[in-house]
Structure 1
Amino acid sequence: MLRVVVLGAAAGGGVPQWNCGCPVCLAARTEHPELRSTQASIAISADGDHWFLINASPDLRQQLIATPQLHPAAGKLRHSPIAGVVLTNGEIDAVAGLLSMREGWPFTIYAHAKVLAILKTNSVFNVLSETNVRRRPIEQDEAFEPTLPDGSPCGIEILPFAVAGKSAWYLEGEAHPAGDTGAGDTLGLRIRDQATGRFFYFLAACADVSDELKSRLKGAPLIFFDGTVWRDDELITAGLGNKTGQRMGHIAMSGDAGAIAALAGLDIDRKVFLHINNSNPALLRDSAERKMAERAGWQIPADGTEFTL
């Protein structure tokens, strides 16, 4: 059985964002604390004992405290059930939490060579000694099976694939550490339990739903999909920023070319939005936007929500 725990569902900065007084953040601080959410990441396991993180958010320490499945085993001075971390991009949202895992416990980082190059050229990540923390490159369209700390197979197959996106925003205008080597900065994942054959898809960032992506996702039992903004110009019209969703590498939920319309009619059993920005009105449970998303079969999860396949 494949188990999935949503550690966080919010986009960068979480909800409430530290310096934001928008309607969602204000409500989360005051009368609606249930709106609070940490930055997007999930944990997966095939046996319930060994877990792999998909992305390591800046809120990872808080997420681990809140998730009993990821606590050290009783009676052990040093222990973690986390056997590895799979990175789908090099954004701060996805990699900063690695720095909270620097206390000398072995695990493996799995990431595309372009993302590993970002970690290698930033000396702050040297606190993750490669004696304990191995870095394994993964390739697009080449399935791999993460291993447990003793080197044995974990029972989960992961297939990375390219999706429309962009390099980390902090690299804009800079030379990429891996050079101009094509795709690899933004990956989607198909995650499959080898014992049962059950699978799901994870796409924390996606700028466009192509016909190829529709074909890939058609009939999936479960997808986690980029829900950053409701409207492409949301941040601009709200006075919270000067970039569109597309400019940041994220498709909008709504609109003729948005995720809800693009993924309709594909017989996907469960559809879950994550990486949801604090500006997104769909976070408000009584909003028209939330009702539209739910009528279309989409779920917006709370931190700690667990799925099984």
Structure 2
Amino acid sequence: MLIKVLGSGAGGGLPQWNCNCANCSQARARTGPLKPRTQSSIAVSENGDDWVLINASPDILTQLRAHAELQPARALRDSGIAAVMLCDAQIDHVTGLLMLRERTTPLPLYATQPVLDDLSSALPLVPLLSHYCGVDQHAIALGEPFTIAPLTGLRFTAIAIDSAPPPYSPHRGSPVTGDNVAFVIEDVATSATAFYAPGLVRTSPSILAAMQSARLVLVDGTFWTDTEMIDLGLSSKRAAEMGHLAQCIVNGEPGMIDLLDSLPSATRKVLIHINNTNPILDLRSDAYAIVRAHGIDIAEDGMELQV
């Protein structure tokens, strides 16, 4: 199984277009070691030609241009994207669907029913795309493994996570199961698994079991502290209120570093969906040194992960 990190940043990427925090300023000026990052998305393949795109970032065209192998050129009009699968209906994970409208056949789209409902009504991307390439919708049943043709050597399982739907959703104030999911990706031939959750605020028995058995854990690295955005004067919300477990201890409770420390030592642990304010992005920072000392990697655009 091959996983490509197409985008490693949180919403807005790095630098964010309207942000002048220390990280964005340095990334924009290119005066330090901070690398630009597009908004989070990964691609998974078993053969290097056919890929499942997990989340469709607004930066998708930039990401596809950076990865020529996702364009195998088997015909005059072609793409390596066999299907798109969604963790949620957040703007930074779905608006890239619009950039795939030139497809010559309906786009296979895999998501839970609550996500498909949001994309059919409140943010009507599905009916909009029906006027272009069309959408072949597949409702994901939680906890039930499935395959996506032609990648039959990979098996996917969605696990519900505790988080809110996007602000535009009609059930923003009353979340339903399936608004947000993590994915377990299994190589059928070897039984090796990868766990992917770009947004994770707390664990459950099923989430913890999936993480403990995975060879690769690619997980929420959005914020360093729970009050990061408040301390910088950029928001009034804590990380947990935005659906993210900070890396540091939160009110005496374990943070993401503690959670990853509890996993088997052989597990490769990688933080993804990193907000532009997070100090771990600066290779000279104490935060970066701490994360690396715990054996945790920090995702970059273009990173390749073999499972």
| TM-score normalised by length of structure 1 | 0.91
CA distance in 1, matches of 2:127, 2:72: 24
- Matching residue of 1:123: 124
Q: Post-superposition shift, 1:48?
A: 1.1
Give yes or no for contact 2:5–2:300 (8 Å, CA) kept in 1. yes
SS in 2 for 1:225: strand
Q: Post-superposition shift, 1:175?
A: 4.0
- Matching residue of 2:200: 206
Give yes or no for contact 1:169–1:248 (8 Å, CA) kept in 2. no
Q: Post-superposition shift, 1:209?
A: 2.5
1:24 equivalent in alignment to 2:6: no
**The one of 154, 160, 163 aligned to 1:162:** 160
1:49 equivalent in alignment to 2:49: yes
Give yes or no for contact 2:52–2:83 (8 Å, CA) kept in 1. yes
- Matching residue of 2:114: 114
Alignment map for 1:208-247 (pairs within 5 Å): 208-247=202-241
CA distance in 2, matches of 1:271, 1:229: 16
Which string of whole-angstrom CA distances, capped at 9 and with x for unpartnered residues, describes residues 34-66 of structure 1? Answer: 520000000000111100101111111110011
CA distance in 2, matches of 1:85, 1:124: 13
**The one of 261, 264, 278 aligned to 2:261:** 264
CA distance in 1, matches of 2:200, 2:100: 27
- Matching residue of 2:287: 289
- Matching residue of 2:58: 58
Q: 1:180 to 1:288 in 2, by over 3 A?
A: closer
Give yes or no for contact 2:157–2:183 (8 Å, CA) kept in 1. yes
Q: 1:157 to 1:263 in 2, by over 3 A?
A: same
Instruction: In structure 2, give the amino acid aligned to 1:264.
Output: D
- Matching residue of 1:134: 136
**The one of 171, 177, 185 aligned to 1:183:** 177
CA distance in 1, matches of 2:165, 2:135: 24
- Matching residue of 2:100: 101
Q: Post-superposition shift, 1:211?
A: 4.6
Q: 1:119 to 1:39 in 2, by over 3 A?
A: same
CA distance in 2, matches of 1:54, 1:32: 31
- Matching residue of 1:250: 244
Give yes or no for contact 1:164–1:206 (8 Å, CA) kept in 2. yes
- Matching residue of 2:70: 70
- Matching residue of 1:146: 148
More divergent stretch after superposition (5-14 vs 216-225): 216-225
- Matching residue of 1:5: 4
Count of aligned residue pairs for this structure pair: 299
CA distance in 1, matches of 2:193, 2:205: 20
Instruction: In structure 1, give the amino acid aligned to 2:12.
Output: G
SS in 2 for 1:145: strand
Instruction: In structure 2, give the amino acid aligned to 1:138.
Output: I
Alignment map for 1:297-308 (pairs within 5 Å): 297-308=295-306
Give yes or no for contact 2:192–2:214 (8 Å, CA) kept in 1. no
SS in 1 for 2:246: coil
Give yes or no for contact 1:209–1:259 (8 Å, CA) kept in 2. no
SS in 2 for 1:216: helix
- Matching residue of 2:87: 88
CA distance in 1, matches of 2:208, 2:176: 22
Give yes or no for contact 1:236–1:242 (8 Å, CA) kept in 2. yes
1:274 equivalent in alignment to 2:261: no
SS in 1 for 2:111: strand
SS in 2 for 1:135: strand
Instruction: In structure 1, give the amino acid aligned to 2:279.
Output: P
More divergent stretch after superposition (230-239 vs 196-205): 196-205
SS in 1 for 2:92: helix
Structure 2 gaps, min length 5: none
CA distance in 1, matches of 2:22, 2:120: 39
| TM-score normalised by length of structure 2 | 0.92
